[in-house]
Structure 1
Amino acid sequence: MRRERARPREGWSDIIESQGLAFHRSAHPEGLARPYWDESVHYVFTMDEVLALESQVEELHEMCLAAAEHVVATGRLADFGIPPACRTAVAESWRRRDQHVFGRFDLRYDGTGPAKLLEYNADTPTSLVESAVVQWFWLRDVFPGDDQWNSLHERLVGHWKTLTLPTGPVHFAWTNADETGEEVMTLGYLQETAEQAGLTTVAVAMEDIGWDALNRRFVDMEHRVMRSLCKLYPWEWIVAEPFGPHALDQQISMAWIEPLWKMLLSNKALLAVLWELYPGHPNLLPAYLGGPRELADTSGYIEKPLLGREGASMRIVTPGAGEQVRTGGDYGAEGFVYQEFLALPDFDGWRPVLGAWVVGDESAGLGIRETSGLITDDTSSFVPHRIHG
């Protein structure tokens, strides 16, 4: 694994916008000099590295499924801050093995040892357009003789074909609250893959979904019954909404992508459960609920809210030096997990996080975000990669 520089393509901004990355100008907070999509640099991997990472990702995914089984079997949903009113529905969704489509692991990797799991974005993963489409065309334009860890598009189309869905169109719902456009473009791409799989689809805003109280069903603006819904609206938000009880009641009659049981894998309490079940596993970092335990006196720790996003509401604490970093945010009322602090590797002053994708239960591709700080947040940039040699 190494970081290299390359000359950006002439007109690169117009190129990536035509490929679906229309939100790259708004993806960053204002005032940053570095663009969100940065093809002036990229990472290079060997095929052996990628094959090893693929194997590790699939093992991690299987471990996460085993952790979900453990949590449901032992009744530990309270450890995840899941509200009492929806715990039974979450457990039943898992027992039914409600169908799922995709997720993204965030990994620490420096090319010299096993990848370390930082978290699992299993319910509402983004950076999909960049990973599946935009960096693939970059590779074809700039390094046509090389390969890429990227079978996302083919696997998504193929996986949609395997799902058993109710009759009627599949609805793809974004929220008008997203001002960047990332959510609508991501869902638009997912909708395209579903259509290529032969499914009939409809796009709708979450705010435009209605409830037919007489017949007890969700309907769209055309009063069509909604029987399959793909969304990037987090489940922890849905169950807290006024329509949340209706969504729970519709678990059997509707297909939800991602399913309700993904509340267990998208929650950072998962990190502590994994460490309990697989202590010392080479792809895990020690993690605990309730406090940092021995980490306070050894390596230090990072305090993560169970439901935090974009690096918000986190703290890094190291022995002797105390608190090193604290990020802003309003998360944390649901509780925290305490994970061993292992700084992201430094490549020319930038620190990459590997976003390793899973479609169904198989490894499917890689997207990389870089930051200059110790915590990856909304100032990070997406950079492409290639496989050489």
Structure 2
Amino acid sequence: MRREHGTPRDDWEKIIEGQGLAYHRAAHPSGLSRPYWDESVHYVFSMEEVEALEEQVEELHRMCLGVVEHVISTGRFADFAIPEWAWEEVARSWERRDPHVYARFDLRYDGTGPAKLLEYNADTPTSLVESSVVQWFWLQDRFPGDDQWNSVHERLVERWRELRLPPGPIHFAFTNMDETGEEAMTVAYLQETAEQAGLRTMAIAMEDIGWDALNRRFADLGGQMIRSAFKLYPWEWMLDDDFGRQAVRHSTWIEPLWKTLLSNKALLALLWELHPGHPNLLPAYLGDPRELTSYIAKPMLGREGASMRIVTPEGTQETPGSYGKEGYVFQGFEALPVFEGQRPVLGAWIVADEAAGLGIRETTGLITDDTSSFVPHRIAD
């Protein structure tokens, strides 16, 4: 693994916007010294590294599914701050094996040892367009003879073909709260992959989904029943909404309700409890940091690096935010590796139950947040 420099393509901004990354300006805070999409640098991997990472990612995914089984069989829903009224429905969702499509692991990796799990974005992961599409076309333009860890698009189309969903169109739901366009474009891209799989689809805003109390069903603005829906809207928000009690019992949702147990950072503590000392895990605990002298306190339902606190013998560093009322997980802190002053996080994609690709974000800070930049990668020939 190494970081290399290159010359950005002429009109690169126009190119990536035409490929769906239309939100690259709005999703990145203004006043920063580099753009969100930065192709002036990229990372290079060997095929052996990528094959090893694929194996580690798929093992992590299997371990995470084991945590779901453990939580449901032992009834440990309270550790995940899930409202008690939803416990039975989460268990039923798992027992039915409600279908899932995709997820993203965030990993610490420096090229010299096993990857370390930072968190699992299993419910509403983004950076999909840049990982699946934009960096692939960058590779074709700049290094057409090289490869890339990237079968995300093909795997998504294949996964939609595999699903056995109720009759009728799949509704693809975004939220009107999205001010940057990132979520809308992510949903539109996933809708396109479903259409390439031969499925009928419809786009809808979450705010426009209605509840037909008489017939006990969800409906779109045209009154059509919503039998299945992909939503880029977190389950914890749905469970907190007025219609949450209906949502858990009606319609097929992708991602499914059982993913509330994987998109929650309490997962990190249970992974360590069930697999102590595993080479791909950092020690993590609920309630307090126990023996850890260097740790990061992560809100169980936090997003974009908000409301975190790093504690080391040298001092404490915090990020602003309003998360944390649901509780914290305390994870052993290992600073991200440094490549030419930048700290990369590897975002490893899972489609169905298989590793499918890689996206890299990097920043100068210790915590990857909305100021980080996305950089492409290649596998050297």
TM category (shorter chain) comes to over 0.9
1:308 partnered with 2:305 = no
1:356 partnered with 2:353 = no
Q: Which residue of 2 aligns with 1:23?
A: 23
User: Match of 1:98, SS?
Assistant: coil
1:1-389 alignment runs, 5 A limit: 1-250=1-250, 254-296=251-293, 300-319=294-313, 321-323=314-316, 325-389=317-381
**Hey, what's the Cα distance between the residues in 2 that align with 1:24 and 1:248?**
34
Deviation at 1:121, TM superposition (A): 0.1
**Hey, what's the Cα distance between the residues in 2 that align with 1:7 and 1:30?**
23
Deviations 1:203-249 (A, max 9, x none): 00111111111101111111111001001100000010111111022
Read off the aligned partner of 1:283 and give its amino acid letter: N
Deviation at 1:30, TM superposition (A): 2.1
Identical positions, percent: 73
**Hey, what's the Cα distance between the residues in 2 that align with 1:248 and 1:170?**
17
**Hey, what's the Cα distance between the residues in 2 that align with 1:116 and 1:341?**
11
**Hey, what's the Cα distance between the residues in 2 that align with 1:249 and 1:111?**
45
User: Match of 1:23, SS?
Assistant: coil
Total equivalences in the alignment: 381
Distance 1:33 1:322, change over 3 A: closer
**Hey, what's the Cα distance between the residues in 2 that align with 1:331 and 1:178?**
18
**Hey, what's the Cα distance between the residues in 2 that align with 1:214 and 1:243?**
14
Deviation at 1:33, TM superposition (A): 2.2
User: Match of 1:364, SS?
Assistant: strand
User: Match of 1:82, SS?
Assistant: coil
User: Match of 1:66, SS?
Assistant: helix
User: Match of 1:137, SS?
Assistant: helix
User: Match of 1:294, SS?
Assistant: coil
Deviation at 1:172, TM superposition (A): 0.2
Deviation at 1:305, TM superposition (A): 0.3
Deviation at 1:91, TM superposition (A): 1.3
Deviation at 1:103, TM superposition (A): 0.2
Deviation at 1:192, TM superposition (A): 0.3
User: Match of 1:261, SS?
Assistant: helix
Read off the aligned partner of 2:353 and give its amino acid letter: D
**Hey, what's the Cα distance between the residues in 1 that align with 2:218 and 2:99?**
20
**Hey, what's the Cα distance between the residues in 1 that align with 2:248 and 2:52?**
39
Read off the aligned partner of 1:270 and give its amino acid letter: L
Deviation at 1:322, TM superposition (A): 3.3
Deviation at 1:328, TM superposition (A): 0.3
**Hey, what's the Cα distance between the residues in 2 that align with 1:279 and 1:96?**
30
**Hey, what's the Cα distance between the residues in 1 that align with 2:328 and 2:50?**
32
Unaligned runs of 5+ in 2: none
**Hey, what's the Cα distance between the residues in 2 that align with 1:92 and 1:332?**
28
**Hey, what's the Cα distance between the residues in 2 that align with 1:227 and 1:95?**
19
Deviations 1:65-87 (A, max 9, x none): 00110111111010011111111
User: Match of 2:257, SS?
Assistant: coil
Read off the aligned partner of 1:25 and give its amino acid letter: R
Read off the aligned partner of 1:305 and give its amino acid letter: P
User: Match of 2:292, SS?
Assistant: helix
Read off the aligned partner of 1:122 and give its amino acid letter: A
**Hey, what's the Cα distance between the residues in 1 that align with 2:224 and 2:179?**
27
**Hey, what's the Cα distance between the residues in 2 that align with 1:355 and 1:155?**
16
Deviating runs (4+, > 2 A) in structure 1? none
Deviations 1:132-153 (A, max 9, x none): 0000000000000000000000
Alignment RMSD:
0.7
Read off the aligned partner of 2:283 and give its amino acid letter: P
**Hey, what's the Cα distance between the residues in 1 that align with 2:97 and 2:321?**
34
Deviations 1:331-352 (A, max 9, x none): 0000000000000000000000
**Hey, what's the Cα distance between the residues in 1 that align with 2:248 and 2:336?**
39
Read off the aligned partner of 1:370 and give its amino acid letter: E
Read off the aligned partner of 1:172 and give its amino acid letter: F
User: Match of 1:72, SS?
Assistant: helix
